[in-house]
Structure formats: C-alpha cells, structure tokens
Amino acid sequence: MFIPSKTAFNVYSKFTTLRKHPSIAPLFPPIIHSYYDQTEVKINRLGRLISPLFKGKKVAACEFQDNKAFKNPWNAAWIPKMLALDDWLLKGDLHHIVFRKLALHRTIQDRLMNRNSPITQLVVLGSGIDHIGWVFSDKCACFELDIEPMITFKKKLLPTLNQKVNFNDFDATKNALDQCLKQQPAFNSNRPSLFITEGFIDYIPKENLVSLLSQIKHINPKNEWMSTHFDRTLLSRNQRFFFEFGVQITGEHLQSNLHKEQVVSIGSNIGFDLINEWAHILELLGNHNIFSEAKLNRIERKVLHQNNMNGCSILHFK
C-alpha cells in the first residue's frame, strides 16, 4: 500500500489507537470515532489485511462502535507496546497527539457555533488523513488542500456518508494559495474563513510561511489562522534526535526551527494577532484533573497525567 506521507500516517495511526481507550474516547464526539472506525476498515482493505469481500457493520454518523466482527490489526495486542516505546523515545508525544486533536476540534467547533463569529468557511492546509474537513463539512463549506497523491489516497478512505469536502491540489512551496482557492467555485473570498495548519508549518521554509500568511490576509482581512507550533529547541537532546531522525527516515524534510516568538512576530507583521494559545489537555478541560489515577491504564496515564512535550502548543490568530 503506497502512502504519500508517512508522517501523516504516523499521526493517524497513533490517534486512531489512542482514541479507543475508555478514558480518552469520551473526550471526542461520536462522529470522530465514526470517521476513524470506517477509515480503519478501508485502510485494512487497501493493505490487504482483511478480505476485500468483508462488508463490515454499518456505522451511523454519530455512533461510536468498536467493530469486533473481524480481526482488526489496529486492535492488536502489540499496539500498546509500540505506543509505550514511542512515549519512551519521545516523552509526552502521546499527550501531544490527543491534545492537538482535542484542542483543534473544540476551538473550531466554538468558532463555527458562536453566533458572534464571522467564520463560515474552513480551509485545512496539508490536511493529510485528518478528520477535520469531513467532520465539519455539515456545518460550513470545508476545503482541504494537499498534494495530489495525498488527496487521491484520502479519497479512497473517506466514509461513504453525505459529508461534502472540497479538495484541491496544493504545494505551499510551489503554488499560490489565492490562485488555488479561485479554482474552487464553492469558495467565497467575501466570507471570512478559518485556516488550519496542523503539523504543517514545520515542513515549509520561513519565506513560504510569510507568503502563505500574507495571502490568507489578502484574501479576506477577517480571515483567522489556527496552527500547531513545535519548538524543537525546547526538546531534550535525545528527544530531538529521535524526532528529527524519525522524520528523516520517512523521506520528508523539516525546515529551520521557528521559536514561538518568531511565529507570533511574523503573524503580527502581516496583521495576525495572537488571541489564544493552549499547551496541554487540562487547559481544555477547565484546569482540574477529572481522571482518577486508579482507573487509568498505562497508556491513559501517559496521555492524561503526563505533561505535553516541551515546545508544543496550539496558536489561534485573528
């Protein structure tokens, strides 16, 4: 099975296994579980891990169902051991994966459901195999921009429900964002949009980031931007080595590291003001620990009771 982005698949793999744990599952709405339940089945078929004749059980859009009708490799006994190894090499990474998915989902939902918010469109840059566009496409016009091989791969995985996502081939180092969106009849530049860059800005040069943000502001001055930020200089030497080496062996390339202050300054010079930021799960849950240590398994403790990796945060700009 050819996977265009190994790093995108790595994030997908971690999240779809972590989200099933009993104390983590309730943090996410049923429609997100439905997306991953169904894409797991399709990935298994693509990889010939299960019979192509297997039809599976129908999963409603808002019903979480851990399908046990077939031997799902994603539920294999060795998976927790691989997650534990990942967290040993990159302490805090499991917290980080759940944190960023939870922070983005809750913040996007708040912006779309807030009556005082002008946001009526969602644009996800470097969308990978993520669920954001599909989950929110029944609430607003959603656009996912990524390289063509990634889009083709993702279209094979999308659940067969009536969600409407608009896809566009886009390479931030080669293509102009405004020209790309002009090719989309459904995109209305007169309507403010929320642009998402999850795990994206680490892979484009600084000059491309400046150009990208300038175009976002030029398309509509009321556009907003939300992004993950990862300052690798704040990792320990071992953590940074394993993270950068892991990306290197996938054939993908990290760009020069930007401190948070540099990202904020770049945004400010273009007209984006930082209005909010989050760095760990408890900030999203009201700053109090609702999880009993005795009821958590080993992986859940690493996610819910362990700190996030240093330098990892979610930034929201207007």
Mean pLDDT throughout 194-222?
96
pLDDT category at 5 given cuts 50, 70, 90 is: confident
pLDDT of residue 298: 86
In the beta sheet, which residues pair with residue 197? 227
The answer to whether residue 15 scores a pLDDT higher than 70 is yes
How many other CB atoms sit within 10 Å of the CB of residue 290? 9
pLDDT of residue 195: 98
What's the distance, CA 39 to chain centroid?
Answer: 15
Tokens of 34: 């439905």
Mean pLDDT throughout 245-267?
92
Element of type H or E holding 124: strand 121-125
| pTM as predicted | 0.89
pLDDT category at 241 given cuts 50, 70, 90 is: very high
43-52, 62-71, 77-86: the lowest-pLDDT one: 62-71
| Cα distance between residue 119 and residue 125, in whole Å | 17
pLDDT digits 0-9 by tens, 68-127: 444 566 666 677 788 888 888 888 999 999 999 999 999 999 999 998 999 999 999 999
Give me the residue label for tokens 């992004």: 227
pLDDT of residue 104: 97
Mean pLDDT throughout 189-196?
97
The answer to whether residue 292 scores a pLDDT higher than 70 is no
pLDDT of residue 43: 85
| Cα distance between residue 129 and residue 40, in whole Å | 11
Q: From edge to edge, which strands make up the β-sheet containing 121-125?
A: 165-169, 141-146, 121-125, 193-197, 224-230, 312-317, 274-278
pLDDT of residue 284: 86
pLDDT category at 63 given cuts 50, 70, 90 is: very low
What's the distance, CA 94 to chain centroid?
Answer: 14
pLDDT of residue 84: 85
Domains assigned to the chain: 80-317 (3.40.50.150)
Query: What's 82's DSSP letter?
Result: H
| Cα distance between residue 250 and residue 127, in whole Å | 18
Mean pLDDT throughout 284-292?
65
Mean pLDDT throughout 203-211?
95
CB 126, CB 146: distance < 8 Å? yes
pLDDT category at 61 given cuts 50, 70, 90 is: very low
The answer to whether residue 312 scores a pLDDT higher than 90 is yes
Task: Provide the mean pLDDT of the chain.
Answer: 87
pLDDT category at 297 given cuts 50, 70, 90 is: confident
pLDDT category at 187 given cuts 50, 70, 90 is: very high
Tokens of 262: 């540099």
